[in-house]
Amino acid sequence: MNRVEADLHVHTSCSDGAHTPEAVVLLAKERGLAAVALTDHDTIGGLAEARAACERAGIVFVNGIEMTCRCEGRDVHILGYLFDEANAALGASLARFRDRREERGREMVAKLNALGVEIAFDEVKKISGNAPVGRPHVARVLVASGAVKSVDDAFRRYLYDDGPAFAPASTLSAPEAIALIRAAGGVASVAHPVLYRGRPSAETLVEVLADAGVAAMEVWHPKHGPEETQRLIDLAKKYRLVETGGSDFHALAYGGVAPGDAGVPLETVERLRALAA
Ligand code: MN
Ligand code: MN
Ligand code: MN
């Protein structure tokens, strides 16, 4: 294992995490971390609160995001760090992403209807309320309609990634996401390259994205096994990418991953700063 002083991958209640940005920063502090990067999915909504909490706690704050995008026909995740949070193009892209959630919900319902499963988008909206429409909401309507036995069953039969009723959450390509982060003065890192079930492979992904201007890659992650980690260290060397890492923390209740369960030495933050505009 490497020296863990900075956790560069954590989520909060601003995306699908369970704890507020302030609570996550306090957890990072309790765990002895010297720096933390907030990387909520497709939102920068938690950054201001986290920055203030880091200042109070006396730890280094790194702004971040985990962008959902498409690469080689699949959803992949690109981490962005140290960008200008007021950048207009990035803000517009995140706003489009929010709008896309509703359109995507309609697409999934249309696919289900085409498969002979009669549910209506209004029923999905009734369940999602003010939250962005997601697959779990569609799954719950499928359960209520009797089409499937459980939410798990709905995912297994219809809603899994690239399944018969799946629609992608993002219409942004990975090179576009990288370009947005770089144009906002930030540094882009390929998130958990071995966790896309082999399609695309880490090798393909990194080859394509290094060409697109990615400067870093997430090597250190709780779900990367020792052999996978070594494979990624070698890939990072080959393409001269900065090794990033973090816990991908979502909640104390899920699976026992806590802030600092994976991460990088503090020098990594300085290397990223040197690359940021
Ligand atoms: Mn998540
Ligand atoms: Mn991810
Ligand atoms: Mn994540």
Q: Tell me how far the alpha carbon of residue 110 lies from the centroid of ligand 2, in angstroms.
A: 27
5 band by pLDDT with thresholds 50, 70 and 90:
very high
Q: Tell me how far the alpha carbon of residue 203 lies from the centroid of ligand 2, in angstroms.
A: 17
- Tens digit of pLDDT for each residue in 182-230? 999 999 999 999 999 888 899 999 999 999 999 999 999 999 999 999 9
Separation CA 190–CA 30 (nearest Å): 28
Q: Tell me how far the alpha carbon of residue 40 lies from the centroid of ligand 1, in angstroms.
A: 8
Q: Tell me how far the alpha carbon of residue 10 lies from the centroid of ligand 3, in angstroms.
A: 7
Segment holding 127, helix H or strand E: helix 121-128
Q: Tell me how far the alpha carbon of residue 270 lies from the centroid of ligand 1, in angstroms.
A: 26
CB 15 within 8 A of CB 9: no
Q: Tell me how far the alpha carbon of residue 16 lies from the centroid of ligand 1, in angstroms.
A: 5
- Tens digit of pLDDT for each residue in 96-120? 998 888 899 999 999 999 999 999 9
- Write the single-letter amino acid at 241: L
Q: Which ligand is nearest to the CA of 37?
A: 3
Q: Tell me how far the alpha carbon of residue 178 lies from the centroid of ligand 3, in angstroms.
A: 17
CB 268 within 8 A of CB 187: no
Taking each continuous run of H as one helix and of E as one strand, the counts in the chain are 10, 8
In the chain, the DSSP E strands lie at 6-10, 35-38, 60-62, 64-71, 74-81, 187-190, 216-220, 242-245
Separation CA 261–CA 276 (nearest Å): 26
| Mean pLDDT across the chain | 94
Q: Which ligand is nearest to the CA of 250?
A: 1
Q: Tell me how far the alpha carbon of residue 18 lies from the centroid of ligand 2, in angstroms.
A: 16
What pLDDT score does 277 carry?
A: 83
Q: Tell me how far the alpha carbon of residue 66 lies from the centroid of ligand 1, in angstroms.
A: 9
Q: Tell me how far the alpha carbon of residue 83 lies from the centroid of ligand 1, in angstroms.
A: 21
The bridge status of strand 64-71 relative to strand 187-190 is: unpaired
Separation CA 75–CA 57 (nearest Å): 35
